[in-house]
Structures are given as structure tokens and as C-alpha cells.
Chains A and B, each alone.
Chain A
Amino acid sequence: MAPEQPLLSMSGITKSFPGVRALDGVDLDVQAGEVHCLLGQNGAGKSTLIKVLAGAHQPDTGRLRWRGEDVTLRSPIAAMRLGIATIYQELDLVEHLSVAENVHLGHEPTTAGFVVRGKAAKESTAALLGRLGHPEVDPARLVGELSAAQQQIVSMARALSHDVRLIVMDEPSAALDPDEVDNLFRIVGDLTAAGVAVVYISHRLEEIRRIGDRVTVLKDGRAVANGLPAKTTPTREVVALMTGRNVEYVFPDRPVSPPPGDPVLEVRGLTRQGEFEPLDLDVRPGEIVGLAGLVGSGRSEILETVYGARKPTSGQVLVEGRALKPGSVRAAVRAGLGLAPEERKAQALLMLESVTRNVSVSSMSRFSRGGWIDRGAELGAARAATRELSLRPDNPSVPVRTLSGGNQQKAVLARWLLRGCKVLLLDEPTRGVDVGARAELYAVIRRLADEGLAVLLVSSEVPEVLGLADRVLVLREGRVVHTAPARELDEHRVLDLVMEGSPAS
């Protein structure tokens, strides 16, 4: 084996899901003992790539070589046997089992093949935790009782309980405070000193500068840069690589002057402990206000708190000057708020039901007398609302699950249109929507605003916020770091703000 032969070499990896090409010929080389950082905006393909690496997804095409030999990772177990361990962002621990049981899950030390040697498991777990700088975590405790940071350590101990040569860490610092991040970096240093390779995913450029050796940048399912030096590549260049876009979305024109009138939605000092800091914002009829920020910046939490789906720690939401009862979705809906949530299928749609019933669900009292539904009126109203949004197919009797992502989103919008809502809260409105269908959805949103709706938009895709909104609030870790008219911002500047916290040079 030649010494400079990469530990892992992926080449030409492609992976498609219905309607999306998540990976489009990605190459990645990882050397033993290096920290290789993966950078990219949400949706660039990082998650899919590491799932391929973990054996959780099978690539459509492409080659995977491990220490010079072609391998196929048919399952997560196959990856683990080679020595590839993955620490996902959503920790995959069993809360009702102890720390030691979690660490050894699936490979418990046993006597005669089936009697678990609990003491041995605890001892080896304690040793691992000590090595990770957390000897205070008791291997006998239940994982559910631990803090998020401690759970992450357990997850890492689990990875290290295998004979591991490569560890993938998906945003490991997201849930950690600065001290814990230092400890994490020390662990990473120990690992690489022992010759273990680390694939490190983070949105925070300063972390990548501190511990990274090389950087690979993903964008729209392609690796736009391979193995750049992590310490010396200028921020400007990295940001340019992340944002340079092949697909130019067409955004509708926005009105020249901001719409007159009093704000219909006023948020005053709204706070949720641990999620976002006191927030003030106004949205006027006809105006689209955008919240830009990365995962974990508190975007969705803000929207759901405004909507009453989460109870605020303090602060108020006013609609047309009247304060809403905090933490009550029904009060918000009655006052004229409507939410198109991030997880359309899990949070908005009744997947077994027709489009009509999905559209009418929030306005049933309008088609009913004494609880008795006038199905003719219901169908007619649903048809009118879906036609107004050009929902395809033009037949509201079809099951909503047969619709494309963009049309499912239109069904959610039609629900609020039919309800006659005044303020529309849009959380990642184009998630899961084909590139081709996005422009149409953007036009629909702008038209609704032009017709007098106030729109509060959240998106992790910076160009979407900049292209669609009139005014933009930039969020970083639950705090508004910048507010400006959208036309005065560009993507680089917003990314600088969300990644660095202050405008970069």
C-alpha cells in the first residue's frame, strides 16, 4: 500500500430521489489522519453524501474505494465493519437504555454468545468516556437523563467502541457551548494523531479554520472544489464557491415603494428561552418580510411561536393591533394567521384525504350549517381557491398524496386563501419543490402579497429570501444580526453575516 494512497476515495457518486438529483457526480478523497471539512448550503447534498458513506443510502452510480480496494456499502453494518462510523446531527440513541447499553448496542460483550456481560460493558464504556474527556458521565445512567452535549459524547463513544478508521461528524458543534466545543476539538485532535480520519461538517467557517486540514465544497449536488487548504483559502472564495449558482431562479418583480399602511402583524419582544432572543418585527399588508438564517438559527421556532404552536417565554404577537393569546394556534387562526409549515407532509397535510378536504379543513364552518357540510359549496370553494393558484391537476377530488411537492404546497396555500387569512407564515415554502416549479410558486406568493396579504417568509436558501422578500432580517443563533431592505443585500453579505456574525472584509 503506497503511503499517500487515500484512505477513502469516492468518485463520480450520483444519487437521485424522486424529483431531485441530490448528488451529481461527487468526488471525495480522505487521507488517514486528516480533518476533511465538507461545506455547502442546505440542500447542497452533504447529508446525502455522508449517508452514502455510512451505507445508509446506495449510490446510483460511482465508485467507492477503501484503502485502494473497491467496496460496496450495502448497509450501515457493512460500513461499520470497514471502520466507518457516523455521528448524525439527530442523535440516534435509545433514551431508555443506559449509556453503556447504548455504546455497545448491537455488539454487546457476551458470554457464550448471548449473556450480556454488563460489567465489562460498563468498564469499557467508562474507559471510552474518560478518553473523550467526560469521565463524569456514569455508564449506568439512562441516556434520556443526559444533556445534549453529554449525549453527543455518548454517540461519539459508540463510534469509537468499534475499530474505527474514519469518523463522520455532522455539525457536531451545533448543540454545544464554547467549552464543550473546545473539548470536541481536543478529541478530534487526538483521533487524527492516532491516524483516524475525520470528515467534519459545519456551517461555521471559524471552526473549519481552526481544526480543518482540507475543505471540499458542495453545491447543488456537485463538488465545486476538492481538497482546498482549510486554513488559507480566503473566506470570500469559499463563500463564492458555495453560492455560485447554476440555476438562476426567476423572481417576480417587487413593488417599487414599500406598501403604505399600518402593520397587520406586529411582534414585540417575542422570546423563547434557548431558542431565540427577544424579537421585534412588523409586517404590513402587501409586504413580504424574510428571515434568513442557517439550520439552528431559530427561524422555524420563531415562525411557530408567532403562530402559537409554541408558547413564548415572553413577548407578544399583535394582529391588527390586537394581542393574541400566547401559545394558542386557534387564537392565531381566528385572528387571520395561516402557516405553511416546514414539514408539509407531517405538519400540514392529511395525506389520506382529497385536495378538497385538505383545503377546506380550516374553513369548515363556512360550508356547514349545524355541523352539516354542504359538499357542493365545499367543492366549489376548494375548486375556486385551487384554480386561483393554478394547482395541477385541476381536480380537487384527487388524493393530495398524488400531487407533486409544489402542488401540495399550493394546496396548503389554498387552505389559507380560502380561510381569508391576513398574514401568511411560510416556512421553507419551496422545500421538496422541483427547481422548475419554484418560479411559479414565487410568483404565486408575490401575487398574494400584491393582493394585500402580509407574508413572513423563512428560508435557509439565501437567494430565495433575497429574491422574494421586500425586507430581510438576518438571524444567527436566535438573534437578529442585521435588518435591511432586500435590494441592499447580496448573497455573499448575508452568508458572511450568518456564518461569521459580522460583515466580513
Chain B
Amino acid sequence: MTQPVSPPRDSTAKVPEAPPPAWRGLLARADVRTLSLLGVLAALIVVGGITKPDEFLDTRNLQLVLTQASVVGVVTVGMTFVIVSGGIDLSVGAIVALASVWATTVATQEYGFAGILFTAIIVGVGCGLVNGVLIAYGAMVPFIATLAMLASARGLALQITDGKTQIVTVPSVLDLGERDAYVLGIPPLVLVFAVVTIIGWLVLNRTTFGRRTVAVGGNPEAARLAGIDVRRQRLYLYLLSGLCCGIAAFLLIVLSGSGQNTNGNLYELDAIAAAIIGGTLLTGGRGTITGSVLGVLIFFTITNIFALNNLQSDVQQIAKGAIIVAAVLVQRRTASTT
């Protein structure tokens, strides 16, 4: 029997080839795409600063942008994993709605802060579990399975609320949503978004889970023949997306002080669009958390600038569409030249 190859012993005699430090890795990977996204964001900030210098650059306003971006941002991190694996999750908005209303029923609120948080996450993960089982073991196409979840979760959310807004009465939850609430000097929602982003980046880039995700998305047949349990990986990915939806639902409860069945409307489109703008291949196998998060920030900065300049949401929507097209065209050009 041949033994597994170990790194050669004499490699310690030579200079062991340590991976470059993380910051250099970040810099090296700050490729054209990431730089161009940063450039777009910087340009938007300049535009905002010029058109509404006092209002846009106000710390309060910037905090508001980040806080609003946090909810969709957390959903986008989960969505990025799913898309990198070659899947899609259309049900994220509906799961956020269902989790937010389930976590704000009178019965749940009796258990206070922990009850709301726990319920939001369990409902999110539970929906993800259903998605994942249908897709991974029921061999359903992700588009269809999550479309079905979208419809049912919204329906269930409506049934729970009967269309009424459920006001949160738990003070500790409401406190987190106050304008001047800070944790470690950061608005709590933004802190959660940052933590989810960092964990997402680490998981995608530094763990076996991330590697398997990329492998399953890049070439499922090769992944299977390499000995990866493709189905289990798919299940985990939809669980992860559901978890992110649960966290986002909690953030939304904090932000709005309520739970509504109309919550999370069209989050799926925002999250998919942000991931695509960030350079995630819709066919799977390639994508970055950094790009997706920048995509989210670009979206919300535009929304804010437009709102400050009294442009209506119809104009915002048109601009978003144009940005998606432009981003994909630019990426195709950079992809073909490299």
C-alpha cells in the first residue's frame, strides 16, 4: 500500500511555504471586480455629498443607510452561499415575513427577548430544512421548491397575523432599535450584519464547508466523484440560508418594533441582484461575500441618495435595473480579458 503523501520532511529545511498573511491575501484578491465595486460606492458617496452635502454625510444618515442595509445584507450572505452552490432561494423574503410574525405573536412575546430571537431563528431554519430536504433528497429544482416555499410561507404569515401588524411590547427588544442604541459604539443591527459578513467570509474561504460549496456549484458531478456528499451539502446550504433569514427577521423586528406579514417583500430579488452585482455566477462555482455585501451597500446608498433628492421609488427601481445590467456587462468584459 502506498502511504498517503505527507508534506516532505525536508520542507522544514527549506523555507516552509506559509500562506501569505490575511491582509495581503485580501489585497491580492481585491481584484478588478472588487475595486470597481468600491469605485462605484465611492462615486455614489461623492454624488450624495455633492447633491445633499449636509443631509447625506450626516453621521445619523450614514448610520441609517447601514442599519437599513443590514436586514437585506444578512439575507444576501446566505443567498450568496446558495447561489455559489449552483442553487437559488426565492423564499427568503417570505421566510423573513413568517419568522417575523411567528416571533411576535402574543404567545411568543411572553417569553421575552430570548423567545423572540429563538423563534425567529427556529422558524427560519425550519423553512430552510424543508427547502433543503425537497431539493437535496426530493430532487426538486431549487427554483420550484423555493417558489413553493415563498407562496406557503407568505400564506402562513398572513394566516397568523390575519393581516394585522403585531406590535412588539418587549422593552429589551425595542431598546435595541432606538436611534441612539449602540453596542461597542456601533448600531446593533450594523454590528450583527458585520459579524455575519465576517463569519460568512471565513466559512466560504477558509473552511471545508466553503470548499464543498464551491465544488458542488462548480461541478456537481466532479464533486460527487471526488467523494463529496453533494446532497448533504445542498441540505446544509438551504439550512444556512434559512438561518440567515431568521436572523434578518429578528433584525427587522428590532428595526420596526413589530411583525407584519408583508415584511421582507421582494428581499429575494434584492439579495439575488446584490449577489450578481457582486460577481457571483448564477450558474454556481464562483462568488464572494465581499462582492455581495458591496452590492447591498450600493443598493441602499442609491436608495438613500434618491430619497434625499426627492426622487420617487419608481426612479429608484429603474436605476437598480440599469445597475444590474451594467454590472453584468462590465463583469463579462473583465472575465473575458483575464
Interface residues of A (CB under 8 A from B): 264, 285, 307, 309, 329-330, 333-334, 339, 341, 346-353, 357, 361-366, 368, 371-373, 375-377, 379-381, 383-385, 388, 415, 417-420, 422, 448, 451-453
List the A side residues contacting B16 at CB < 8 Å.
376, 380
List the B side residues contacting A346 at CB < 8 Å.
219, 221-222
Do B286 and A349 touch across chains, with their CB atoms under 8 A apart? no
> Which residues of B (5-56) have their CB < 8 Å from a CB of A?
5-8, 11, 16-19
Do B18 and A376 touch across chains, with their CB atoms under 8 A apart? yes
Q: In the complex, what residue of chain B is closest to A418 when comparing beta carbons?
A: B5
List the A side residues contacting B221 at CB < 8 Å.
346-347
List the B side residues contacting A348 at CB < 8 Å.
222, 225-226
Interface residues of B (CB under 8 A from A): 1-8, 11, 16-19, 206-209, 211-212, 214-215, 218-219, 221-229, 285-286
List the A side residues contacting B206 at CB < 8 Å.
372-373, 375
Do B225 and A307 touch across chains, with their CB atoms under 8 A apart? yes
10 contacts between A and B (CB under 8 A): A285-B1, A341-B225, A348-B222, A371-B208, A375-B206, A380-B17, A384-B7, A385-B5, A420-B5, A451-B2
Do A349 and B219 touch across chains, with their CB atoms under 8 A apart? yes
CA distance A339 to B17 in the complex (A): 30
Do A420 and B222 touch across chains, with their CB atoms under 8 A apart? no
CA distance A505 to B273 in the complex (A): 69
| Number of A-B residue pairs with CB-CB distance less than 8 Å in the complex they form | 114
Do B227 and A373 touch across chains, with their CB atoms under 8 A apart? no
CA distance A88 to B5 in the complex (A): 45
Interchain CB contact (< 8 A) of B228 among A361, A375, A417? A361
Q: Nearest Cβ distance between residue A491 and chain B, in whole angstroms?
A: 31
Do A373 and B208 touch across chains, with their CB atoms under 8 A apart? yes
List the B side residues contacting A368 at CB < 8 Å.
207-208
CA distance A373 to B219 in the complex (A): 21
Do A376 and B19 touch across chains, with their CB atoms under 8 A apart? yes
Do A352 and B286 touch across chains, with their CB atoms under 8 A apart? yes
Q: Nearest Cβ distance between residue A376 and chain B, in whole angstroms?
A: 5
Interchain CB contact (< 8 A) of B7 among A365, A371, A381? A381
CA distance A361 to B229 in the complex (A): 12
Interchain CB contact (< 8 A) of B211 among A341, A347, A352, A361? A361
CA distance A415 to B229 in the complex (A): 17
CA distance A372 to B11 in the complex (A): 23
Q: Nearest Cβ distance between residue A435 and chain B, in whole angstroms?
A: 26
Do B7 and A380 touch across chains, with their CB atoms under 8 A apart? yes
Take A364-B208, A364-B211, A453-B2 as given contacts and tell me if A347 and B218 are in contact as well, using a CB distance cutoff of 8 Å.
no
Do B17 and A420 touch across chains, with their CB atoms under 8 A apart? no
List the B side residues contacting A347 at CB < 8 Å.
219, 221-222, 225
CA distance A453 to B222 in the complex (A): 22
Q: Nearest Cβ distance between residue B204 and chain A, in whole angstroms?
A: 11
Take A346-B219, A373-B207, A422-B1 as given contacts and tell me if A384 and B6 are in contact as well, using a CB distance cutoff of 8 Å.
yes
Q: Nearest Cβ distance between residue B24 and chain A, in whole angstroms?
A: 13
Do A350 and B4 touch across chains, with their CB atoms under 8 A apart? no
CA distance A307 to B224 in the complex (A): 11
Q: Nearest Cβ distance between residue B31 and chain A, in whole angstroms?
A: 13
Knowing that A333-B227, A417-B2 touch, tell me 15 more A-B residue pairs with CB under 8 angstroms.
Answer: A264-B1, A329-B227, A341-B225, A347-B219, A348-B225, A352-B286, A361-B228, A362-B228, A364-B212, A368-B208, A371-B209, A372-B207, A377-B7, A384-B7, A452-B1
List the B side residues contacting A373 at CB < 8 Å.
206-208, 211
CA distance A406 to B183 in the complex (A): 56
List the A side residues contacting B209 at CB < 8 Å.
371
List the B side residues contacting A361 at CB < 8 Å.
211, 215, 223, 226, 228
